[in-house]
Amino acid sequence: MTINTFHEAGFDIIALTDEQSGTQVEIVPAHGALLHAFKVRRQGKLINLIDSYSSLEDLRENLHSSFKSVKLSPFACRIKDAAYEWQGNAYSIEKTIAPGNAIHGLLYDAKFTVAEQKASAQEASVTLAYSFREEDTGYPFSYDCQATYTLLPGNELRVTTKVINRSQISIPVMDGWHPYFSTGTPVDELVLTFASKEIVEFDAKLIPTGKVLPYTEFVKGKKLAGVELDNSFVLDFSQAQPLASLLDPVKNIQIDFFPGDHYPVLQVYIPPHRNSIAVENLSGAPNAFNNGIGLVTLAAGEDRTFDTRIKITA
């Protein structure tokens, strides 16, 4: 395994490469610890299964409408009216994409730095770090976010996030990640399977009502033709891993997801163009700062690690 850096399309990229298989993972630290590519060899050619930005200009124009493959922290998805209460105090998130519309946290465009990189015969990894220090009046807390990408043999990528509370008080945390996947085949031809018996009920503005309803439509797999998804599902960890799979039966490509216990929610989103699909591991439901579904409380000095693995068969 090797690690190298290069500049392309306006991005400074770190590449983790399995020289035996040719598999390569590309990360852009300076733009939300962005996962830029996950390339695997198929029929003698490398194909990229991540729907990323074609250039820095593309990212700047479209980041706020897609948030593709960036780090979501200290919350993911939406906070209703950008407001919440914590320990008896009311807060209003300042960083919004429109007044009152807080979405996908505060680090999606943060400039992460390289804290560590390691390569051996068995794996290659890079740890990216960002120190958040009371940078938003609506989240006046301090914490460190460390995102580690590790390439393993067999087309497998482990993504680990460690959040460390640097405040003197307890802080609310919800962790997530926003990867968009594309096999080159339209989403309507893909089959999605995941282990879940429950769906989080949303209102018309995609804010959870606080209820969780029975739902098993994807337990045995379902073709996505005509299916609209922007929903949160509670994963059933009593089932065997992988807990989610995306199959392209046209090209015989399968993407398997192995979320750790601290990612109990699966968010799935199909954008209007239907050329890619976001399959997101989350520690809680949207609006967790208000509804408490999966909300993590970190005491002063405490840390929490969130992890998931993605394995590709092509």
Q: What class, spelled out in words, does domain 2-313 have in CATH?
A: mainly beta
189 phi, psi to nearest 5 deg = -90, -10
| Whether residue 151 has pLDDT greater than 90 | yes
pLDDT tens digits, residue range 96-135?
Answer: 988 888 999 999 999 999 999 999 999 999 999 999 999 9
Half-sphere exposure for 22 (CA within 13 Å, toward CB)? 11
pTM over 0.75: yes
> Rounded mean pLDDT of 28-52?
96
pLDDT tens digits, residue range 76-96?
Answer: 999 999 999 999 999 999 999
Report pLDDT for 219. Answer: 96
Binning pLDDT at 50, 70 and 90, where does residue 210 land?
confident
Report pLDDT for 83. Answer: 96
Per-residue HEC secondary structure of the chain comes to CEEEEEEECCEEEEEEECCCCCCEEEEECCCCCEEEEEEEEECCEEEECECCCCCHHHHHHHHHHHCCCCEEECCCCEEHHHEEEECCEEEECCCCCECCEEECECCCCCCCEEEEEEECCCCEEEEEEEEEECCECCECCEEEEEEEEEEECCCEEEEEEEEEECCCCCEEECCEECCEECCCCCHHHCEEEECEEEEEEECCCCCEEEEEEECCCCCCCEECCCCCCEEEEEECCCCCCCCEEEEECCCCEEEEEEECCCCCEEEEECCCCCCCEEEEEECCCCCHHHHCCCCEEECCCCEEEEEEEEEEEC
Report pLDDT for 101. Answer: 87
Domain residue limits, the chain = 2-313
The amino acid that residue 60 corresponds to is: R
> Rounded mean pLDDT of 240-246?
98
**Residue 74 neighbours by CB under 8 Å, 6+ apart:** 105, 106, 107, 132, 139, 141, 143, 145, 163, 171, 172, 173, 174, 175
> Rounded mean pLDDT of 2-26?
97
Reading the block at residue 64, the tokens are 């706020």
